[in-house]
Structure 1
Amino acid sequence: MITINSRLIRIHWFGLTCFFSFLLLSGCQTITNSMLEKPVSAVDVLPMPVASHEFSFDPFRDDVVGNVQVINANYEDTLSDIARRFNLGYEEIVAANPDVDPWLPGAGTRIIIPTQFILPDAPREGIVINLAAMRLFYFPKAEDGEMQYVITHPVGIGRLQWKTPVGATRITVKDENPVWRPTPSIHKEYARNGNPLPAAVPPGPDNPMGTHVLRLAWPTYAIHGTNKPPSVGMRGSFGCIRMYPEDIAGLFNEVAVGTPVRVVNQPRLLGWRGDQLYLQTYPVLEDDKRNHDKQFGKLIEETRSALKAQINARPHQTLNNSLIKETILNPRAIAIPVTKADISLQNYLDLALHVQNTMPFNATWVGDIKGNLTTAEIWESEQIQ
């Protein structure tokens, strides 16, 4: 009996659609302006951006999904606007573009879209959250013989004084249109800042938990939405995991009560794709006091000696140590192939796929955040609360 995975059909159909669209768009470059009613513009000849939240992969061979993309900013864009468009968090896109003004990139500015991810070093089942990456990965159960599937979204995590815990837990309750009942410690925090809270906040636009909640076996912790979408990708919560409203709604429908949840803190990730070993680095969280240089040496040894590292030409690949050093010293949230010889980080980014600055096909968000608070206003309000 033949089984059909509808998710994989969607991914493969999307790939074919992009491929033929690219061929069509490329072919249009040979048409002269005199044959058209209007001149050919740059956007007409660029491919559509690739969806950045759903991927299939071979779990026995590969650890890397997605691709780095490049766009040109529009006149009114902020990095926060672009981040939500491409299902990225605020810190992710700022780290990838350290020389760009987050509030006013400027029309035409080249923006790196870091939509290539090394999967966390954790069991690929249920939900895995990497605090350093501020990113969630959901691995639906795969049938025998099928490619594995992953859904990934940016998240906000606990602020410095309200750390999100690391460890294993599970989803215990799914709650739609929740009531927020602040804990005594949260009441004290608000009261200390002259902004006392009611005993309960009903469902609606003022509810900081948004419209959907996945409660965890850890008391007082949950994965939930937010009424402040630009805060996703920041340390701004009281320890809970925040998601964009559209992302938590989709995840809510996918997962069941009992789904395992594992929270890790991995600022340096190694993984294989094809014959290349990739390295992805994120800024180390302020309260993470581990010796990551010492741990990284051990991580390289384990990664290169694992069974997965013995496939095809992988055992013969030589590490580009200068690129490794550059990637560690400049954590850009970008997955880099560190077994490619004689390239720098800039060389690699220069080769990234240049795409239209528009909503990716099958994107999770289709709205317009103009009129909401800016990321700067969100950040300021979080410091006051």
Structure 2
Amino acid sequence: MAMRSIKAAAGLTALMVLAVPARSEPITFSSDTFQIIGGMSSEATPTRRGNYRGMETVDFKTELAPGTILVRTRERKLYYVLPEGRAIQYGIGVGREGFTWSGTDKITRKAEWPDWRPPKEMIAREARRGNYIPVHMLGGPDNPLGARALYIGTTMYRIHGTTQPWSIGMAVSSGCIRLLNEEVIDLFNRVDVGATVVVE
């Protein structure tokens, strides 16, 4: 992978996560929408949402420059670093066992209601489980990449929204970092292409 200092669990190739697409009016999603995306089968689908209360500005001491994104996988938190010892904290969904990773890279692209092209590895893996994943899906309310996507380096990892809001705070993805749609829109509007991303 092109990510500097990146480490993927079990030598796995970077894979995708989940999300929710773009509209100006509120969108509702059923709990079973694309439940297998991000590596979850129907039998693995949680029955309740994680204990996430929403983004907030917090005290945050760090040597990272303002504008940096810091992902703390174990905490299931993403921090957007602000000046003067502050950060905006977001709850996230992270990679399930065997799909976590760490590294430092840059945001190389931003997209509103992005198309989704799942990796061949994910399509094959899900086919073995009897689940169908399309080769390509246009952006929209049912698209697993959600309302916004921030692309990390040249990897297949993304920071994006989700069609599974109950999964925030949980380890259920194939390696991407997912946020609630409304919160990924907020982050998207703050982050510049070229911003540093640190995943711990």
Q: TM-score, normalised by structure 1?
A: 0.37
% identity of equivalent residues = 34
Deviation by residue 1:89-112 (Cα, 9 ceiling, x = unmatched): xxxxxxxxxxxxxxxxxxxxxxxx
8 Å CA contact retained: 1:172, 1:216: yes
What residue number does 1:201 align with?
A: 137
Structure 1 CA distance, aligned partners of 2:170 and 2:141? 20
Tell me which amino acid in the other structure corresponds to 1:206: D
Runs ≥4 in structure 1, deviation > 4 angstroms? 115-122
Tell me which amino acid in the other structure corresponds to 1:133: E
What residue number does 2:185 align with?
A: 249
SS of match in other structure, 1:180: coil
Structure 1 CA distance, aligned partners of 2:61 and 2:130? 41
Tell me which amino acid in the other structure corresponds to 2:72: N
Structure 1 CA distance, aligned partners of 2:186 and 2:70? 16
SS of match in other structure, 2:132: coil
8 Å CA contact retained: 2:58, 2:88: no
What residue number does 2:64 align with?
A: 123
Q: Could you list the runs of 5+ residues in structure 2 that have no partner in the other structure? A: 1-46
Q: TM-score, normalised by structure 2?
A: 0.69
Structure 2 CA distance, aligned partners of 1:261 and 1:116? 19
What residue number does 2:106 align with?
A: 170
The 1:80–1:196 alpha-carbon spacing in structure 2 relative to 1, beyond 3 Å, is closer
Structure 2 CA distance, aligned partners of 1:186 and 1:156? 18
The 1:149–1:122 alpha-carbon spacing in structure 2 relative to 1, beyond 3 Å, is closer
Deviation by residue 1:129-188 (Cα, 9 ceiling, x = unmatched): 111100001013x3xxxx34311101111111322x212111000000111100011101
Among 206, 215, 221, which residue is 2:151 paired with? 215
CA-CA distance at 1:117 after TM superposition: 6.7
1:228 pairs with 2:169: no
Tell me which amino acid in the other structure corresponds to 1:235: A
CA-CA distance at 1:253 after TM superposition: 0.4
1:238 pairs with 2:174: yes
User: Quick check: which has more Rg, 1 or 2?
Assistant: 1
Greater fraction of residues in helix: 1
Q: Could you list the runs of 5+ residues in structure 1 that have no partner in the other structure? A: 1-77, 89-114, 265-385
SS of match in other structure, 1:160: coil
CA-CA distance at 1:79 after TM superposition: 7.8
The 1:230–1:175 alpha-carbon spacing in structure 2 relative to 1, beyond 3 Å, is same
Give the number of aligned pairs: 153
Structure 2 CA distance, aligned partners of 1:152 and 1:211? 19
CA-CA distance at 1:221 after TM superposition: 0.4
SS of match in other structure, 2:137: coil
Pairwise CA RMSD: 2.5
